[in-house]
Amino acid sequence: MKSKPHIAIVGATGAVGIEMIKTLEKRKFPVGQLTLLASARSAGKKLKFHGKPITVRELTKDSFAGVDIALFSAGGDISREFARIAVKAGCVVVDNSSAFRQDDSVPLVVPEINAADIRRHKGIIANPNCTTAITLMALYPLHQRFGVKRIFASSYQAVSGTGAKAIEELERQVKQVVKGQPVTKEVYPHQIAFNVLPHVDSFLSTGYTKEEMKMENEGRKIMHHPKFRASVTCVRVPVYRAHSVAVSAEFVKPVSVKAALAVLRKAPGLDVVDNPAAKEYPLPLYAAEQYNCQVGRLRQDCALDNGLCFWVAGDQLLKGAALNAVQIAEELLKL
Protein backbone atom coordinates (compact mmCIF):
# COMPACT_ATOMS: atom_id res chain seq x y z
CA MET A 1 0.00 0.00 0.00
CA LYS A 2 1.23 3.50 -0.84
CA SER A 3 2.33 5.67 2.07
CA LYS A 4 -0.11 8.35 0.83
CA PRO A 5 -2.97 6.45 -0.82
CA HIS A 6 -5.70 7.77 -3.07
CA ILE A 7 -8.91 7.48 -1.01
CA ALA A 8 -12.46 7.44 -2.32
CA ILE A 9 -15.58 7.81 -0.19
CA VAL A 10 -18.75 6.31 -1.67
CA GLY A 11 -21.82 7.96 -0.15
CA ALA A 12 -19.79 11.05 0.72
CA THR A 13 -22.80 13.33 1.32
CA GLY A 14 -24.54 10.99 3.78
CA ALA A 15 -24.24 11.17 7.56
CA VAL A 16 -21.51 8.50 7.72
CA GLY A 17 -19.73 9.85 4.63
CA ILE A 18 -19.45 13.28 6.24
CA GLU A 19 -18.03 11.67 9.39
CA MET A 20 -15.52 9.72 7.28
CA ILE A 21 -14.20 12.97 5.82
CA LYS A 22 -13.94 14.55 9.29
CA THR A 23 -12.28 11.45 10.73
CA LEU A 24 -9.64 11.25 7.99
CA GLU A 25 -8.86 14.89 8.74
CA LYS A 26 -8.86 14.68 12.54
CA ARG A 27 -6.72 11.53 12.62
CA LYS A 28 -4.26 13.06 10.15
CA PHE A 29 -4.63 10.13 7.78
CA PRO A 30 -1.99 10.54 5.02
CA VAL A 31 -4.38 11.09 2.12
CA GLY A 32 -2.59 11.49 -1.20
CA GLN A 33 -5.80 12.32 -3.05
CA LEU A 34 -9.45 12.31 -1.97
CA THR A 35 -12.31 11.49 -4.33
CA LEU A 36 -15.88 12.02 -3.12
CA LEU A 37 -18.59 9.94 -4.80
CA ALA A 38 -22.37 9.98 -4.44
CA SER A 39 -25.60 9.69 -6.42
CA ALA A 40 -26.32 11.83 -9.48
CA ARG A 41 -28.52 14.17 -7.44
CA SER A 42 -25.65 14.93 -5.05
CA ALA A 43 -23.00 15.33 -7.76
CA GLY A 44 -21.68 18.88 -7.98
CA LYS A 45 -21.96 19.59 -4.26
CA LYS A 46 -18.78 20.76 -2.57
CA LEU A 47 -17.46 19.39 0.72
CA LYS A 48 -14.38 20.63 2.55
CA PHE A 49 -11.32 18.58 3.43
CA HIS A 50 -8.54 20.40 5.30
CA GLY A 51 -10.30 23.65 4.42
CA LYS A 52 -10.28 23.05 0.68
CA PRO A 53 -13.50 22.40 -1.28
CA ILE A 54 -13.78 19.10 -3.14
CA THR A 55 -16.52 18.62 -5.72
CA VAL A 56 -18.64 15.48 -5.29
CA ARG A 57 -18.70 13.27 -8.39
CA GLU A 58 -21.41 10.91 -9.56
CA LEU A 59 -20.64 7.26 -8.74
CA THR A 60 -20.13 5.23 -11.94
CA LYS A 61 -18.38 2.01 -12.92
CA ASP A 62 -15.38 4.09 -13.98
CA SER A 63 -15.00 5.95 -10.67
CA PHE A 64 -12.25 3.78 -9.17
CA ALA A 65 -9.36 4.14 -11.62
CA GLY A 66 -6.25 4.95 -9.59
CA VAL A 67 -8.04 4.66 -6.23
CA ASP A 68 -6.20 2.65 -3.56
CA ILE A 69 -8.82 2.45 -0.78
CA ALA A 70 -12.57 3.04 -1.14
CA LEU A 71 -14.70 3.59 1.97
CA PHE A 72 -18.27 2.59 1.10
CA SER A 73 -21.27 3.91 3.03
CA ALA A 74 -24.13 4.13 0.57
CA GLY A 75 -26.21 1.08 1.49
CA GLY A 76 -26.11 -2.61 0.66
CA ASP A 77 -27.48 -2.32 -2.87
CA ILE A 78 -24.74 0.12 -3.93
CA SER A 79 -22.09 -2.05 -2.27
CA ARG A 80 -23.31 -5.18 -4.04
CA GLU A 81 -23.30 -3.34 -7.38
CA PHE A 82 -20.00 -1.46 -7.14
CA ALA A 83 -17.67 -3.08 -4.56
CA ARG A 84 -16.38 -5.84 -6.81
CA ILE A 85 -16.02 -3.35 -9.67
CA ALA A 86 -13.79 -1.30 -7.39
CA VAL A 87 -11.74 -4.37 -6.48
CA LYS A 88 -11.22 -5.22 -10.15
CA ALA A 89 -9.89 -1.67 -10.63
CA GLY A 90 -7.20 -2.45 -8.03
CA CYS A 91 -8.92 -0.90 -5.04
CA VAL A 92 -9.35 -2.24 -1.48
CA VAL A 93 -12.95 -1.73 -0.34
CA VAL A 94 -13.93 -1.08 3.28
CA ASP A 95 -17.68 -1.60 3.25
CA ASN A 96 -20.01 -0.20 5.91
CA SER A 97 -23.15 -2.05 4.76
CA SER A 98 -24.33 -5.55 5.68
CA ALA A 99 -23.75 -6.82 2.11
CA PHE A 100 -20.59 -8.84 2.78
CA ARG A 101 -20.47 -9.28 6.57
CA GLN A 102 -21.40 -12.96 6.52
CA ASP A 103 -19.34 -13.78 3.42
CA ASP A 104 -16.67 -16.28 4.52
CA SER A 105 -14.15 -14.74 2.13
CA VAL A 106 -14.59 -11.24 3.60
CA PRO A 107 -13.00 -10.30 6.94
CA LEU A 108 -15.39 -8.59 9.38
CA VAL A 109 -13.21 -6.33 11.49
CA VAL A 110 -13.11 -4.24 14.64
CA PRO A 111 -9.41 -3.26 14.70
CA GLU A 112 -9.12 -3.34 18.52
CA ILE A 113 -10.33 -6.96 18.39
CA ASN A 114 -9.29 -8.73 15.20
CA ALA A 115 -7.04 -6.46 13.14
CA ALA A 116 -5.01 -9.51 12.10
CA ASP A 117 -7.97 -10.72 9.99
CA ILE A 118 -7.34 -7.81 7.60
CA ARG A 119 -4.30 -9.65 6.25
CA ARG A 120 -6.47 -12.30 4.60
CA HIS A 121 -8.66 -9.88 2.67
CA LYS A 122 -9.34 -10.50 -1.02
CA GLY A 123 -10.21 -6.92 -1.85
CA ILE A 124 -13.17 -6.34 0.48
CA ILE A 125 -13.22 -5.79 4.26
CA ALA A 126 -16.53 -5.41 6.09
CA ASN A 127 -17.40 -2.96 8.85
CA PRO A 128 -19.69 -4.51 11.49
CA ASN A 129 -23.14 -3.43 12.54
CA CYS A 130 -22.92 -0.34 14.75
CA THR A 131 -24.67 -1.84 17.79
CA THR A 132 -22.52 -4.97 17.58
CA ALA A 133 -19.30 -2.97 17.35
CA ILE A 134 -20.15 -0.78 20.35
CA THR A 135 -21.15 -3.80 22.47
CA LEU A 136 -18.05 -5.81 21.57
CA MET A 137 -15.75 -2.96 22.58
CA ALA A 138 -16.67 -3.82 26.18
CA LEU A 139 -17.56 -7.50 25.81
CA TYR A 140 -14.47 -8.73 23.97
CA PRO A 141 -11.88 -7.73 26.62
CA LEU A 142 -14.05 -9.53 29.18
CA HIS A 143 -14.32 -12.54 26.86
CA GLN A 144 -10.53 -12.72 26.58
CA ARG A 145 -10.21 -12.94 30.37
CA PHE A 146 -13.33 -14.84 31.42
CA GLY A 147 -14.69 -16.59 28.28
CA VAL A 148 -18.18 -15.37 27.35
CA LYS A 149 -20.86 -18.02 26.77
CA ARG A 150 -23.94 -15.92 26.07
CA ILE A 151 -25.49 -12.51 26.55
CA PHE A 152 -28.95 -11.07 26.99
CA ALA A 153 -29.06 -7.48 25.79
CA SER A 154 -31.35 -4.56 25.00
CA SER A 155 -30.23 -1.71 22.79
CA TYR A 156 -31.26 1.93 22.98
CA GLN A 157 -30.58 3.16 19.45
CA ALA A 158 -30.44 6.78 18.34
CA VAL A 159 -32.50 7.99 15.39
CA SER A 160 -29.40 9.08 13.46
CA GLY A 161 -28.78 5.37 12.92
CA THR A 162 -31.69 5.52 10.47
CA GLY A 163 -30.38 8.62 8.69
CA ALA A 164 -30.81 12.37 8.34
CA LYS A 165 -34.56 12.14 7.64
CA ALA A 166 -35.08 10.36 10.97
CA ILE A 167 -33.36 13.21 12.82
CA GLU A 168 -35.64 15.66 11.03
CA GLU A 169 -38.65 13.53 11.96
CA LEU A 170 -37.78 13.55 15.67
CA GLU A 171 -37.22 17.33 15.61
CA ARG A 172 -40.51 17.90 13.78
CA GLN A 173 -42.52 15.62 16.05
CA VAL A 174 -41.16 17.21 19.24
CA LYS A 175 -42.28 20.62 17.98
CA GLN A 176 -45.68 19.23 16.95
CA VAL A 177 -46.27 17.66 20.37
CA VAL A 178 -45.17 20.80 22.24
CA LYS A 179 -47.47 22.97 20.10
CA GLY A 180 -50.39 20.54 20.41
CA GLN A 181 -50.40 19.84 16.67
CA PRO A 182 -51.15 16.47 15.00
CA VAL A 183 -48.01 14.34 14.79
CA THR A 184 -46.93 13.37 11.27
CA LYS A 185 -44.94 10.19 10.47
CA GLU A 186 -42.75 9.47 7.44
CA VAL A 187 -39.72 7.45 8.54
CA TYR A 188 -40.96 5.31 11.43
CA PRO A 189 -44.26 3.37 11.62
CA HIS A 190 -45.12 5.08 14.93
CA GLN A 191 -44.37 8.38 16.64
CA ILE A 192 -40.77 8.41 17.90
CA ALA A 193 -40.93 11.66 19.91
CA PHE A 194 -41.58 10.89 23.63
CA ASN A 195 -41.82 7.19 22.70
CA VAL A 196 -39.66 4.09 22.18
CA LEU A 197 -40.07 1.54 19.39
CA PRO A 198 -39.04 -2.10 19.99
CA HIS A 199 -38.49 -2.42 16.25
CA VAL A 200 -35.16 -1.87 14.46
CA ASP A 201 -34.80 -3.37 10.95
CA SER A 202 -37.21 -5.93 9.46
CA PHE A 203 -38.76 -8.86 11.30
CA LEU A 204 -37.73 -12.47 10.69
CA SER A 205 -39.96 -15.55 10.95
CA THR A 206 -38.54 -16.19 14.45
CA GLY A 207 -39.92 -12.88 15.74
CA TYR A 208 -36.44 -11.41 16.08
CA THR A 209 -35.39 -8.60 13.74
CA LYS A 210 -32.38 -8.70 11.42
CA GLU A 211 -30.68 -6.10 13.62
CA GLU A 212 -31.14 -8.30 16.71
CA MET A 213 -29.54 -11.33 15.06
CA LYS A 214 -26.50 -9.36 13.91
CA MET A 215 -25.16 -9.34 17.47
CA GLU A 216 -24.89 -13.14 17.54
CA ASN A 217 -23.91 -13.72 13.91
CA GLU A 218 -21.36 -10.91 13.65
CA GLY A 219 -20.13 -11.39 17.21
CA ARG A 220 -19.25 -15.02 16.44
CA LYS A 221 -17.23 -14.00 13.38
CA ILE A 222 -15.40 -11.02 14.91
CA MET A 223 -14.50 -12.81 18.17
CA HIS A 224 -13.73 -16.14 16.43
CA HIS A 225 -16.23 -17.67 18.84
CA PRO A 226 -18.67 -19.92 16.92
CA LYS A 227 -20.57 -20.96 20.07
CA PHE A 228 -21.33 -17.39 21.22
CA ARG A 229 -25.06 -16.84 21.80
CA ALA A 230 -26.96 -13.55 22.04
CA SER A 231 -30.62 -12.86 22.73
CA VAL A 232 -31.20 -9.21 21.91
CA THR A 233 -34.09 -6.74 21.80
CA CYS A 234 -33.25 -3.67 19.70
CA VAL A 235 -35.13 -0.49 20.58
CA ARG A 236 -35.25 2.88 18.81
CA VAL A 237 -35.26 5.77 21.29
CA PRO A 238 -35.77 9.55 20.85
CA VAL A 239 -32.05 10.33 21.09
CA TYR A 240 -30.28 12.13 18.25
CA ARG A 241 -26.88 10.46 18.37
CA ALA A 242 -25.03 7.57 20.09
CA HIS A 243 -26.37 4.11 20.87
CA SER A 244 -26.50 2.50 24.31
CA VAL A 245 -26.75 -1.20 25.19
CA ALA A 246 -27.66 -2.94 28.45
CA VAL A 247 -25.87 -6.28 28.62
CA SER A 248 -26.14 -9.28 30.92
CA ALA A 249 -23.27 -11.63 30.10
CA GLU A 250 -22.57 -15.15 31.32
CA PHE A 251 -18.95 -16.33 31.38
CA VAL A 252 -17.16 -19.67 31.67
CA LYS A 253 -14.91 -18.46 34.50
CA PRO A 254 -16.00 -16.73 37.70
CA VAL A 255 -16.06 -12.95 37.29
CA SER A 256 -16.11 -10.17 39.87
CA VAL A 257 -16.79 -6.48 39.36
CA LYS A 258 -13.28 -5.65 40.59
CA ALA A 259 -11.63 -8.07 38.17
CA ALA A 260 -13.85 -6.90 35.28
CA LEU A 261 -13.02 -3.25 35.94
CA ALA A 262 -9.31 -4.06 35.92
CA VAL A 263 -9.72 -5.64 32.48
CA LEU A 264 -11.87 -2.87 31.04
CA ARG A 265 -9.58 -0.06 32.21
CA LYS A 266 -6.81 -1.53 30.03
CA ALA A 267 -9.02 -2.08 26.96
CA PRO A 268 -8.22 0.06 23.89
CA GLY A 269 -10.88 2.44 22.63
CA LEU A 270 -12.88 2.22 25.84
CA ASP A 271 -13.40 4.58 28.78
CA VAL A 272 -14.69 3.31 32.13
CA VAL A 273 -17.35 5.66 33.53
CA ASP A 274 -18.52 3.82 36.63
CA ASN A 275 -19.21 5.80 39.78
CA PRO A 276 -22.90 5.42 40.66
CA ALA A 277 -22.43 7.20 44.02
CA ALA A 278 -21.55 10.35 42.08
CA LYS A 279 -24.21 9.60 39.44
CA GLU A 280 -21.52 8.93 36.85
CA TYR A 281 -22.28 6.36 34.16
CA PRO A 282 -22.17 6.31 30.35
CA LEU A 283 -24.69 8.63 28.68
CA PRO A 284 -25.33 8.87 24.94
CA LEU A 285 -25.33 12.66 25.28
CA TYR A 286 -21.67 12.58 26.32
CA ALA A 287 -20.61 9.59 24.19
CA ALA A 288 -21.74 11.48 21.06
CA GLU A 289 -18.88 12.70 18.85
CA GLN A 290 -16.34 10.79 20.95
CA TYR A 291 -14.01 8.18 19.43
CA ASN A 292 -13.97 5.98 22.55
CA CYS A 293 -16.96 3.99 23.74
CA GLN A 294 -17.91 4.19 27.42
CA VAL A 295 -18.76 1.37 29.84
CA GLY A 296 -20.23 1.51 33.34
CA ARG A 297 -23.00 0.32 35.71
CA LEU A 298 -20.98 -2.84 36.33
CA ARG A 299 -22.57 -5.27 38.77
CA GLN A 300 -22.74 -8.96 39.50
CA ASP A 301 -25.65 -10.48 37.60
CA CYS A 302 -28.07 -11.93 40.14
CA ALA A 303 -29.80 -14.22 37.62
CA LEU A 304 -26.82 -15.83 35.84
CA ASP A 305 -23.96 -18.02 37.03
CA ASN A 306 -20.63 -16.24 36.49
CA GLY A 307 -22.69 -13.32 35.26
CA LEU A 308 -21.95 -9.63 34.88
CA CYS A 309 -24.23 -6.73 33.96
CA PHE A 310 -22.92 -3.61 32.27
CA TRP A 311 -24.06 -0.61 30.24
CA VAL A 312 -22.10 0.55 27.20
CA ALA A 313 -22.59 3.65 25.04
CA GLY A 314 -20.88 4.78 21.87
CA ASP A 315 -21.25 7.03 18.85
CA GLN A 316 -22.70 4.78 16.15
CA LEU A 317 -21.65 7.19 13.40
CA LEU A 318 -18.02 6.95 14.60
CA LYS A 319 -17.02 3.66 16.27
CA GLY A 320 -20.10 2.09 14.73
CA ALA A 321 -19.21 3.28 11.23
CA ALA A 322 -16.82 6.04 10.08
CA LEU A 323 -14.09 5.74 12.73
CA ASN A 324 -13.97 1.95 12.44
CA ALA A 325 -13.63 2.21 8.64
CA VAL A 326 -10.78 4.72 8.89
CA GLN A 327 -9.06 2.55 11.51
CA ILE A 328 -9.22 -0.36 9.06
CA ALA A 329 -7.65 1.90 6.41
CA GLU A 330 -4.91 2.77 8.89
CA GLU A 331 -4.25 -0.94 9.38
CA LEU A 332 -4.03 -1.40 5.60
CA LEU A 333 -1.16 1.12 5.52
CA LYS A 334 0.83 -1.22 7.76
CA LEU A 335 0.60 -4.15 5.33
- Respond yes or no: is residue 302 known to be catalytic: no
Q: Is 153 found in the same domain as 47?
A: no
Please state the rounded mean pLDDT for residues 13-37. 97
Q: What is the CATH number of the domain that holds 221?
A: 3.30.360.10
d(CA 121, CA 223): 17
Specify burial of residue 328 (Cβ count, 10 A radius: 0-12, 13-18, 19+).
buried
**Annotated catalytic residue: which of 91, 130, 293, 309?**
130
Q: Is 265 found in the same domain as 180?
A: yes
Chain segment 257-266, per-residue pLDDT in tens: 999 999 999 9
- Respond yes or no: is residue 130 known to be catalytic: yes
Q: Is the residue at 1 inside a domain?
A: no
pLDDT score, position 163: 85
**Annotated catalytic residue: which of 6, 121, 143, 243?**
243
Q: Is 71 found in the same domain as 51?
A: yes
**Which contiguous run of DSSP H or E holds residue 259?**
helix 257-264
Q: Is 273 found in the same domain as 185?
A: yes
Domain boundaries, position 136: 132-316
Chain segment 71-126, per-residue pLDDT in tens: 999 999 999 999 999 999 999 999 999 999 999 999 999 999 999 999 999 999 99
Chain segment 189-200, per-residue pLDDT in tens: 999 999 999 999
